[in-house]
Structure 1
């Protein structure tokens, strides 16, 4: 069985996500496609503080994947909620790595495969990106191609697929960046001004994948 993403744990209050047009259940769970985003409040800190994965290999039921707090799950995928902002599912999760080779080895040890690898620039600095699959969600690992560090990896940001990106930006008013072309051909993207919304996770909205041909 392929490893899939069950939950992401975010140290935000539920009202902040509701203000951003997300539907949040009474228990603090935001169901985005098949993934549950569990909003655990500021008592846990800020940002993404952990995740749970399904179908981990029997010898990989660890509590940590390259520094990321990890739980093993047998919970079935969630039933998607309908969100006022038009979000349909989680497109990708960004993981920042201080040592890309080390992170790659840790992810491969739990049964994930690197589907694609590329070198590029981020804010003028060289980066290496690895792309892996966690069910319907892409895991994007980002780090330096040359430098390494001993720090743990961190789950850094979320990008959600949205039906109508112009309508989502209008709903959020001035709390998004201008909609622009994404790196992926044919797609458009906007970034939430997450701090203005009381959200501690870097968050983007993107149009659906464009099928070739």
Structure 2
């Protein structure tokens, strides 16, 4: 579960089906595959506020409420609210799932260590110039969702007064089975699809700020392996 400081109207305007309150969640929410995005309104903090992670009951590792600066809540696997997979046509914009969550950190090694301590396993590390300056990316799996950690090659302070600044949530990458159809449905709210870094995929930027949204969001075509399965 991800908690977001947005009004439901912003997500409705973007073509998402917003669910009303449920027994498990008092706030409106958006379901993307097996992930629920809980909307807390735009009258307080904005952006990605917190993630709720599922921990196995037998897992005795520490469950901190702060993962190197990332607000975190823990839910035991047996007690986790059940989320059904949204059908393909659940959202009018055609978006079908959450591909990855992007996290930034001034110290990639430190944040990687903090995530590893609670069970995240780094699956891939790469250096990239895609952000203008050389950066390091580390990729983890969280269920079926990728967690992408991005930061400088060497630890840096974000400001002289914040030498130990923590990691922060940056944005979301979603998936559409038909990116061209999604672009047509969303109109000017979605930028033109362009080639993605991943070979064979395309990506388009959601202009969420024009609709009152506060989360940096992109929409991607499916992974090549998903197309092969289809």
Could you state the TM-score of these two structures normalised by the residue count of structure 1? 0.92
Displacement of 1:29 in angstroms is 1.1
Instruction: Give the match's secondary structure for 1:125.
Output: coil
Instruction: Give the match's secondary structure for 2:113.
Output: helix
CA RMSD of aligned residues (A): 1.5
Alignment of 1:12 with 2:26, yes or no, is no
CA distance in 2, matches of 1:24, 1:108: 34
Instruction: Decide which structure has the larger Cα Rg and report it.
Output: 2
- What are the superposed Cα offsets for residues 6-64 of structure 1, whole Å, 9 maximum, x if unpaired? x0000000111111111111121111100010011123311101110001643322111
Superposition misfits of 4+ residues, deviation over 6 angstroms: none
Contact residue 99 and residue 147 of structure 1 kept, 8 A: yes
Contact residue 33 and residue 89 of structure 1 kept, 8 A: yes
Aligned residue pairs total 207
CA distance in 2, matches of 1:84, 1:176: 14
Alignment of 1:203 with 2:203, yes or no, is no
- What are the superposed Cα offsets for residues 161-205 of structure 1, whole Å, 9 maximum, x if unpaired? 101111111111112211111111111110101101111000111
- What are the superposed Cα offsets for residues 98-123 of structure 1, whole Å, 9 maximum, x if unpaired? 11011001000001110000001133
1:51-130 equivalences in 2 (<5 Å)? 51-55=51-55, 57-74=59-76, 75-81=80-86, 82-130=90-138
Contact residue 61 and residue 117 of structure 2 kept, 8 A: no
Contact residue 114 and residue 130 of structure 1 kept, 8 A: yes
Contact residue 10 and residue 40 of structure 1 kept, 8 A: yes
Contact residue 16 and residue 199 of structure 1 kept, 8 A: yes
Contact residue 96 and residue 142 of structure 1 kept, 8 A: yes
CA distance in 1, matches of 2:101, 2:93: 19
Which residue is 1:146 aligned to? 154
Unaligned runs of 5+ in 1: 1-6
